[in-house]
């Protein structure tokens, strides 16, 4: 009798899964979820999927016995249908069953069939009804068994071993799979001549040396094309290849890429010579240059000199225009280089502002008061101030005083006084001073009288920035 290979486990792999609750049927096939695994003897062969409990998965290819049983709902001519699908697509042949109730009896549905499944194929039980939404009773059970032979007891002397190698049969060893690169731990079967030719195993690594293997020094490592070689000698396990080295060439500028043809290799600490030279002075136009040397990291280009007569070498412009550009150093920004137009420079340096009034005003104050409208609060700077006015007094000996005030204080040297006698006699006063303010301080024209009442007519306050 022939001998069969053993199964992957001592028993045939089997899964029995069950539904412990009722299952509501409908007019279309629906997957029946199996919430309990009664038996799962080897989940490397058959696995009840815990994540999708309506699936039982075949982990190996082969033939499988599949059966299920269920108590169907009762009802006059009520039909219950079952089927088993593979991979949610095809219905397995032999799995379909239809059960019809005769009235009050709840019929039993049971079927068993065999199907061929591939690796990781899964099967699912489905059920439906012809009318309404009755329930399948709790206890529906599905059993799947992997059909595989098991090794039995050894037969008698007349039994035939189909995998045996026979001493009188030709072409048996030549049909076995060949290993072209043996390893030292590979095993051979031998007959031990020192032990009555008993069968034993032998590692290839323990074979005697046999023929002596000649050895020679290995060739040097070079940059060349790959080659199989035709040497017939072996290298020892501590052999070394010599590596030919040479000094690397100097770096060059504007050379095209080139693999080179040297057969020597460079050491890890090799160095290339870098030619370097003094950088040229800063020019006036862009140029690629034709130098073949490099500049050091701290190289310096000679810029514009600071010697005498630098600017005299430039072309002169005899009639400047407002849009002409000047180079300057910004004192308010760490003397950084900036540009300004001639118009901007003149506007900043010769800025003039005035205040005027024509209406007659009067005062009997003997202390300085603001002449109406005669006040200006300019940007910070130094200004030339002119306060011009015409005044009179109603007292024969009454003096009228005018002066310039800045930052809340009188510029003493700016004060003028006169005795215009009785109206309609008038005096013209022109007060002049140079003052400095901080941008928040006012420049004013003020006046007062010695006695009586003074009158002031047309008046002007003019300031011109001089610094």
CATH classification of 14-147 is 1.10.10.10, yes or no? no
pLDDT for res 225:
75
Residue 427: half-sphere exposure toward Cβ, Cα within 13 Å? 19
Q: Each residue's pLDDT tens digit in the chain (467 positions)?
A: 344 444 444 578 999 999 999 999 999 999 999 999 999 999 999 999 989 999 999 999 999 999 999 999 998 889 999 999 999 999 999 999 999 998 888 899 999 999 999 999 999 999 999 999 999 999 999 999 999 755 555 555 555 566 677 777 787 787 888 888 888 888 888 888 999 888 889 888 788 754 445 667 888 777 777 888 877 677 777 888 888 788 887 777 767 777 777 777 778 788 888 888 788 777 667 887 777 777 787 888 776 666 677 777 788 888 888 788 888 888 889 999 899 887 777 666 667 899 999 999 999 999 999 999 999 999 999 999 999 999 988 887 789 999 999 999 999 899 999 887 655 678 899 999 999 999 999 999 999 999 999 999 999 999 999 87
pLDDT for res 97:
93
Q: How many Å apart are CA 435 and CA 445, to the nearest integer?
A: 13
349 three-class SS: helix
Q: ω into residue 322 within 30 of 0, thus cis?
A: no
Buried b (16+ CB within 10 A) or exposed e, 31-67: bbebeebeebbbeebbbbbeeebbbbbbbbeeebebb
pLDDT for res 2:
41
CATH of 352-465, one of 3.40.50.720, 2.60.120.760, 3.40.50.150, 3.30.365.10: 2.60.120.760
Instruction: Report the candidate in 37, 66, 89, 7 with the shortest Cα–Cα distance to residue 58.
Output: 66
Instruction: Report the candidate in 348, 428, 435 with the shortest Cα–Cα distance to residue 385.
Output: 435
Q: How many Å apart are CA 410 and CA 401, to the nearest integer?
A: 12
Cα angle 56, 59, 65 (rounded to 5 degrees) comes to 60
For the chain, which residues make up each domain, given as ranges?
14-147, 352-465
Structure token pair of residue 87: 């991979």
Q: Which residues contact 412 (CB under 8 A, 6 or more apart)?
A: 403
Inter-residue contact 110 to 69 (CB < 8 Å): yes
Q: What is the DSSP string of 58-75?
A: ESS-EEEEEEEEEEPPP-
On the question of a common fold for 14-147 and 352-465, the answer reads yes
The burial of 80, by beta-carbon neighbours within 10 Å (0-12 exposed, 13-18 middle, 19 or more buried), is given as: buried
Q: How many Å apart are CA 82 and CA 33, to the nearest integer?
A: 14
Inter-residue contact 32 to 69 (CB < 8 Å): no
Structure token pair of residue 111: 């079927």
pLDDT for res 345:
75
Structure token pair of residue 30: 């629906």
Instruction: Report the candidate in 350, 372, 298, 1 with the shortest Cα–Cα distance to residue 159.
Output: 1
């Amino acid at each position: 009798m022939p001998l069969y290979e053993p199964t992957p486990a001592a028993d045939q792999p089997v899964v029995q899964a069950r539904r412990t609750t009722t299952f509501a049927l409908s007019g279309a096939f629906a997957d029946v979820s199996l919430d309990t695994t009664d038996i799962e003897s080897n989940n490397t062969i058959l696995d009840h999927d815990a994540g999708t409990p309506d699936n039982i998965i075949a982990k190996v290819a082969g033939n499988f016995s599949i059966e299920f049983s269920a108590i169907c709902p009762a009802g006059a001519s009520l039909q219950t249908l079952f089927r088993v699908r593979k991979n949610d697509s095809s219905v397995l042949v032999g799995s379909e069953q239809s059960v019809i109730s005769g009235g009050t009896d709840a019929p039993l549905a049971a079927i068993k069939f065999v199907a061929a499944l591939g690796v990781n194929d899964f099967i699912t039980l489905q059920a439906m009804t012809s009318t309404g939404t009755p329930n399948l009773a709790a206890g529906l059970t599905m059993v799947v068994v992997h059909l595989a032979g098991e090794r039995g007891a050894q037969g008698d002397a007349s039994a035939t071993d189909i995998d045996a190698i026979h001493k009188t049969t030709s072409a048996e060893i030549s049909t076995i799979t060949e290993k072209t690169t043996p390893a030292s731990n590979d095993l051979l079967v031998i007959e031990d001549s020192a032990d009555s030719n008993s069968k034993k195993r032998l590692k290839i690594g323990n074979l005697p040396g046999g023929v002596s293997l000649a050895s020679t020094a290995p060739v040097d490592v070079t940059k060349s094309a790959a080659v199989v070689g035709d040497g017939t000698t072996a290298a020892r396990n501590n052999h070394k290849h010599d590596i030919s080295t040479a000094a690397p060439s100097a770096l060059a500028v504007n050379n095209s890429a080139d693999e080179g043809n040297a057969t020597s290799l460079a050491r890890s600490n090799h160095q290339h010579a870098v030619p370097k030279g003094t950088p040229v002075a800063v020019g006036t136009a862009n140029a690629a240059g034709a130098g073949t040397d490099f500049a050091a990291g701290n190289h310096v280009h000679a810029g514009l000199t600071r010697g005498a007569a630098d600017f005299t070498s430039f072309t002169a412009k005899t009639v400047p225009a407002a849009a002409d550009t000047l180079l300057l150093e910004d004192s308010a920004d760490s003397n950084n280089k900036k540009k300004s137009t001639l118009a901007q420079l003149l506007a900043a340096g010769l800025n003039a502002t005035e205040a005027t009034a024509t209406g007659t005003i009067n005062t009997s104050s003997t202390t300085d008061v603001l002449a109406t409208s005669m006040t200006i609060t300019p940007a910070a700077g130094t200004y030339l101030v002119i306060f011009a006015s015409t005044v009179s007094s109603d007292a024969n000996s009454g003096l009228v005083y005018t002066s310039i005030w800045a930052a809340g204080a009188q510029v003493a040297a700016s004060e003028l006084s006169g005795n215009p006698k009785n109206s309609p006699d008038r005096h013209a006063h022109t007060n002049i001073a140079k003052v400095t303010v901080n941008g928040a301080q006012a420049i004013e024209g003020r006046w007062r009288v010695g006695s009586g009442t003074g009158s002031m007519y047309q008046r002007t306050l003019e300031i011109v920035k001089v610094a």
